[in-house]
Amino acid sequence: MSDRGSSALRPEHPIARSLPHLVDEFGFETAGAPVSDVVTGITLSSRDVQPGDLYVGLKGQRHHGAAFAAGAAESGAVAVLTDPEGVELAVESGLPVLVTPEPRLALGEVAAWIYRTREDPPTLFGVTGTNGKTSVAYLLEAILRQLGITAGLSTTAERRIGDETIVSKLTTPEATEIHAMLARMREADVRSVVLEVSAQAITQHRVDGIVFDVVGFTNLTHDHLDDYRTMELYYEAKRELFQPDRARRGVVIVDAEWGGRLAQESRIPLTTISTDPASEAEWHLTVDEERADRTTFTLRGPDHRELTTSVPLLGAYMAANAALAIVMLVESGFDLDAIAHALNLAHDDDGAEIDDDDFQPGIDVYIPGRAERVSGDRGPIVYIDYGHSPDAFTSTLESIRRVTDGRVVMVFGADGDRDPSKRAEMGAIAARLADAVVITDFHPRSEDPALIRAALIAGAKAAVPDGELYEVADPRAAFRAALGLAGEGDVILYAGPGHEDYHEVAGERIPYSARDDARKALHEHGWL
pLDDT of residue 348: 56
Per the CB < 8 A criterion, the answer to whether 86 and 57 are in contact is yes
pLDDT of residue 1: 34
Total count of residues recorded for the chain: 528
State the burial class of residue 439 (Cβ atoms within 10 Å of its Cβ: 0-12, 13-18, 19+). buried
Q: Is the confidence at residue 112, as pLDDT, over 50?
A: yes
Residue 237 host element (H or E): helix 231-239
Give the DSSP letter of residue 204: T
| Chain centroid to CA 105 | 23
pLDDT of residue 3: 38
pLDDT tens-digit profile of 284-317? 999 999 999 999 999 999 999 999 999 999 999 9
Residue 290 host element (H or E): strand 283-290
Mean pLDDT, residues 6-27 taken together: 90
Tell me the backbone φ, ψ of residue 265, rounded to 5 degrees: -100, -10
Percent of the chain's residues with pLDDT above 90: 89
Supply the Cα-derived Rg of the chain in whole angstroms.
Answer: 24
Report how many helices (DSSP H) and strands (DSSP E) the chain contains, helices first.
Answer: 17, 28
Domain ranges in the chain with CATH number 3.90.190.20: 372-524
Task: Name the residue among 134, 139, 137 with its Cα closest to residue 365.
Answer: 139
Percent of the chain's residues with pLDDT above 70: 95
Tell me the backbone φ, ψ of residue 313, rounded to 5 degrees: -140, 155
pLDDT tens-digit profile of 229-251? 899 999 999 999 999 999 999 99
**Picking from 7-11, 77-81, 294-298, 517-521, which range would have the lowest pLDDT averaged per residue?**
7-11
Q: Is the confidence at residue 282, as pLDDT, over 70?
A: yes
The 10 Å CB-count burial string (b at 16+, else e) for 444-482 is bbebebeebbebbbebbeebbeebebbbbeebeebbbbb
Instruction: Report in angstroms the alpha-carbon separations of 417 from 439, 475, 486, 505.
Output: 18, 19, 32, 11
Query: Residue 489's pLDDT band (boundaries 50, 70, 90)?
Result: very high
Calpha distance 216→202 (Å, rounded): 14
State the burial class of residue 1 (Cβ atoms within 10 Å of its Cβ: 0-12, 13-18, 19+). exposed
Task: Name the residue among 39, 25, 29 with its Cα closest to residue 79.
Answer: 39
Task: Name the residue among 395, 387, 391 with its Cα closest to residue 411.
Answer: 387
Instruction: Report in angstroms the alpha-carbon separations of 497 from 319, 439, 459, 518.
Output: 22, 13, 21, 12
Domain ranges in the chain with CATH number 3.40.1190.10: 123-354
Task: Indicate the annotated binding residues for ATP.
Answer: 129-135
pLDDT tens-digit profile of 329-377? 999 999 999 999 999 876 555 555 665 656 688 999 999 999 999 999 9
pLDDT tens-digit profile of 114-156? 999 999 999 999 999 999 999 999 999 999 999 999 999 999 8
Calculate helix-pair angle for 103-115, 19-26, nearest 10 degrees: 130
For all residues of the chain together, what is the average pLDDT? 94
Calpha distance 139→268 (Å, rounded): 24
Task: Name the residue among 133, 157, 277 with its Cα closest to residue 218.
Answer: 133
Calpha distance 196→209 (Å, rounded): 16
Per the CB < 8 A criterion, the answer to whether 489 and 404 are in contact is yes
Class of domain 17-115: alpha beta
Task: Name the residue among 317, 486, 498 with its Cα closest to residue 399.
Answer: 317
Mean pLDDT, residues 416-434 taken together: 96
Task: Indicate the annotated binding residues.
Answer: 44, 46, 129-135, 171-172, 198, 204, 206
Query: Residue 228's pLDDT band (boundaries 50, 70, 90)?
Result: confident
**Whole-structure pTM value:** 0.93
In CATH terms, the superfamily for domain 372-524 is Mur ligase, C-terminal domain (3.90.190.20)
Q: Is the confidence at residue 2, as pLDDT, over 50?
A: no
pLDDT of residue 4: 37
Class of domain 123-354: alpha beta
pLDDT of residue 137: 98
Calpha distance 53→43 (Å, rounded): 7
Strand boundaries in 72-205, DSSP class E: 79-82, 96-99, 123-128, 151-154, 158-161, 164-167, 192-196
Calpha distance 17→52 (Å, rounded): 10
pLDDT of residue 227: 80
pLDDT of residue 5: 40
Domain ranges in the chain with CATH number 3.40.1390.10: 17-115
Q: Is the confidence at residue 273, as pLDDT, over 80?
A: yes
Q: Is the confidence at residue 12, as pLDDT, over 80?
A: yes
Segments in 274-373 forming alpha helices (H): 316-332, 336-343
Per the CB < 8 A criterion, the answer to whether 352 and 146 are in contact is no
pLDDT tens-digit profile of 143-190? 999 999 999 999 988 999 877 888 877 667 899 999 999 999 999 999
